[in-house]
């Protein structure tokens, strides 16, 4: 059985977020392995190297969303054990202010642990201040290959990146190819999915498509940055052809509101993630 791991040579490795399970609210780390699963809290330590920064030097929204999905999903997965593991169903992210610090962290806590769903909140913090946050809802499933097991409390250090990956921006690593805009105020791109884009179950990591859309939007509007995303996961991307689209719904507040879609182009363009993103002018 292949266990899910943030150490897989995948999105989690590229993001270089060391992840630690914290002592529970009850003041007892062992509480996280008992029935008091809602007490689970995780902290991901972020080092904002250039490959994770946006045009103005802030933590790039595409990276932040992927980190949110990574640590929020992992926290939800731990909370769902031993009944199952999780897949993302809803992701909400907002930037409250640009995060320029080199060292920051993403703190995840469980808001609700139900039999079928787990809700986690994630906050991006540096120097005691909150720069952005999000809420991740995950569905609890029973993987065919069985459940992962972890030594608790979990502590995962960064795996070293090779020189090529260290020098790459996350968007470059994803490999987004921008396509000619099919219409006014509409943008498209595609990604050939490789093993590195996938999670241990072979489906595209939940942060890949959204990060690609952020890249698409910011390439089309160079002075804008994505400050808000509300995404709904409808189905997994399984084939190797991912298509991403963005369509302007309304211009406002010096930015715009966009409908975004992530499609499995190898499966009749099945819509896999849909939702909205909001940009704001720098």
Partner 1 sequence: MVHLNPESDYPPASHVLRDLGIDIEHVDVGRADGWLPLRPAITLENGEGRIGALTTLIDCVGGAIAGPIVAPGWMATADLSVEIFAPWTEGWVRAEGHTLRAGRSTVVLQIDLLREVDDQPCGRGYLTFAVLPGREFNPIMGGEQPQGRRSFGDPHGGGALPILSSLGVTDLGGGAISAPVNSYSRNTLDALHGGVVALLIDAASESAMSAHFAANGRDGERARAAALSLTYLARNTTGPVTAVAQLASSSERGLATTTVEVRDEGADRSTAVGWVRYVLDEGGSK
Binding positions for partner 1, rule: CB under 8 A:
89-90, 92, 94, 96-97, 111-112, 116-117, 119, 121, 130, 133, 135, 137, 139, 227-228, 230, 232, 234-235, 249-250, 252-254, 257, 259, 271, 274-276, 278, 280-281
Crossing angle for the helix pair 61-80 and 208-220, to the nearest 10 degrees: 160
Q: With respect to partner 1, which residue has the nearer C-beta, 103 or 116?
A: 116
Longest CA–CA separation in the chain, Å: 57
Coil, helix or strand at residue 194: coil
Residue 15 or 110: the one with the smaller Cβ distance to partner 1 is: 110
Least distance between partner 1 and beta carbon 249 (Å): 6
Task: Provide, rounded to whole angstroms, the least separation between the CB of residue 60 and partner 1.
Answer: 18
Token pair for 166: 């260290």
Distance of alpha carbon 279 from alpha carbon 259, whole angstroms: 12
Instruction: Quote the least distance from Cβ 110 to partner 1, whole Å.
Output: 10
To 5 degrees, how large is the angle CA 175–CA 47–CA 101? Answer: 110
- Residue 123 beta carbon to partner 1: minimum distance, rounded to whole angstroms: 10
Comparing CB distances to partner 1, the nearer of 2 and 252 is 252
Handedness of CA 176, 44, 161, 193 (dihedral sign): negative
Q: Are 248 and 99 in contact (CB under 8 A)?
A: no
In terms of CB distance, is 167 or 251 closer to partner 1? 251
């Amino acid at each position: 059985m292949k266990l899910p791991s943030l150490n897989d040579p995948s999105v989690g490795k590229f993001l270089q977020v060391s992840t630690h399970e914290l002592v529970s609210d009850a003041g007892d780390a062992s509480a996280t392995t008992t029935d008091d699963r809602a007490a689970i809290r995780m902290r991901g330590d972020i080092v904002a190297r250039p490959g994770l920064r946006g045009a103005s030097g802030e933590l790039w929204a595409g990276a932040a969303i992927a980190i949110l999905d990574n640590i929020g999903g992992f926290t939800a997965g731990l909370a769902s054990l031993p009944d199952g593991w999780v897949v993302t169903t809803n992701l909400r992210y907002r930037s409250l202010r640009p995060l320029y610090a080199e060292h920051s962290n993403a703190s995840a806590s469980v808001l609700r642990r139900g039999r079928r769903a787990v809700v986690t909140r994630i906050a991006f913090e540096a120097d005691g201040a909150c720069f952005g946050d999000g809420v991740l809802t995950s569905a609890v499933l029973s993987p065919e290959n069985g459940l992962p097991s972890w030594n608790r409390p979990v502590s995962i250090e960064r795996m070293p990146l090779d020189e090529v990956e260290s020098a790459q921006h996350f968007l470059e690593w994803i490999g987004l190819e921008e396509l000619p805009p099919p219409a006014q105020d509409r943008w498209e791109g595609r990604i050939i999915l490789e093993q590195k884009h996938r999670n241990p179950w072979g489906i595209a990591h939940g942060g890949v498509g959204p990060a690609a859309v952020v890249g698409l939007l910011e390439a089309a509007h160079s002075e804008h940055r994505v400050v808000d995303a509300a995404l709904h996961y409808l189905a997994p991307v399984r084939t190797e052809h991912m298509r991403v689209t963005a369509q302007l719904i309304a211009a406002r507040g010096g930015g715009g509101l966009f409908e975004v879609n992530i499609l499995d182009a190898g499966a009749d363009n099945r819509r896999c993630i849909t939702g909205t993103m909001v940009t704001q002018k720098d």
